[in-house]
Amino acid sequence: MIPTAALLVGALALAPPAPGAPDPAPDPVIYTLHPAVDGTVLALSALTIAVPSLFASELIHERCPCDPSSVNAFDRHAIGNHSHAADVTSDLTVALAMAGPPVVELVAVHGSRAIATDLVVFGEVLLVNGALVEIAKYTVQRPLPLTYAGDPALVSSPGGYRSFYSGHTSTAFAALSAGAFTLGQRRGERGWPWLVVAGVGASVGVERVLGGRHFPTDVMVGAVMGTLVGVGVPWLHLAARPVALVPSRRGLGVAVAF
């Protein structure tokens, strides 16, 4: 699923230094953390992800059997898809997308402070993205294509009404976009990382549709939202950015550098 170019670059990044080579200098810290702000965002995001699942049966209202003809023509063809292989592959692809940036970070970046701040920002990306996904799912409660098709295990289950928008797709795009953005800021790479984002992220979206887990519009929105979070959260933490969120007496404030 991962493009050959990405594998080659990853192999180069993972290659050990030449024997006798001096230890590289620590990489600069490119992100600024505000413990009060970031701690609050992390905690609230985690709670938003975890708490609703405890009350899913009360929050989600099962309402199918549903008429497939009520689905718009663009999405309707997804009803009837049920590829188990695509479903499993999407799980594996998302896991690789989430693991890839931290692995590259730990191998290619030198200096504990730079690594620590990058990983905190990456974790914040995943949690904020996950929180937004949960808010959308519990608000919209769109039946899955498999639910429209009458899958008995989903028709009577809260999990059958969480189609919008695709969490797998948004997670893949968020994780890989954050990695690509960080790589661009740290190494100046602007091309191949974003090809990996597009290729791997799109593959997850296709797999979710083929598996009957999402409609095309679900994965399209997931791709957009994941990318926005994957770029937006790191951008808000850039040390060199002229506008930043900072703690204030009333909560959060905006600091502007001139």
Q: What is the pLDDT of residues 203-227, one digit of tens each?
A: 999 999 999 999 999 999 999 999 9
Identify which of 57, 34, 88 has the alpha carbon closest to the alpha carbon of residue 157.
57
Mean pLDDT, rounded, of the chain: 88
Average pLDDT of 97-122?
A: 94
Contacts 24+ apart (CB under 8 A), 48-56: 48/130, 48/131, 48/134, 48/135, 49/127, 49/130, 49/131, 49/134, 52/134, 52/138, 53/134, 56/158, 56/159
Of residues 155 and 250, more confidently modeled: 155
Q: Residue 5 has what pLDDT? A: 40
The rounded distance, in Å, linking the Cα atoms of 150 and 85 is 20
Contact 127, 46 (CB under 8 A): yes
Average pLDDT of 97-104?
A: 95
Q: Which secondary-structure segment (H or E) carries 243?
A: strand 243-248
The rounded distance, in Å, linking the Cα atoms of 57 and 60 is 6
| Two structure tokens written together for 219 | 């994965």
| Two structure tokens written together for 59 | 């929050």
43 CB-near residues (< 8 Å, 6+ apart): none
Contact 181, 235 (CB under 8 A): yes
The rounded distance, in Å, linking the Cα atoms of 212 and 245 is 40
- C-alpha 142: how far from chain center: 20
Contact 230, 175 (CB under 8 A): yes
Cβ count within 10 A of residue 24: 10
Backbone phi and psi for residue 18, each to the nearest 5 degrees, phi listed first: -65, 145
pTM score, whole prediction: 0.85
Average pLDDT of 99-119?
A: 93
The rounded distance, in Å, linking the Cα atoms of 258 and 249 is 23
DSSP classification of residue 251: E
Q: Residue 245 has what pLDDT? A: 55
| Two structure tokens written together for 38 | 């970031």
The rounded distance, in Å, linking the Cα atoms of 200 and 202 is 6
The rounded distance, in Å, linking the Cα atoms of 86 and 78 is 13
Q: What is the pLDDT of residues 159-169, one digit of tens each?
A: 999 999 999 99
Classified by CATH at the fold level, domain 30-61+82-256 comes out as Vanadium-containing Chloroperoxidase; domain 1 (1.20.144)
Q: Which secondary-structure segment (H or E) carries 194?
A: helix 192-210
Average pLDDT of 44-66?
A: 95
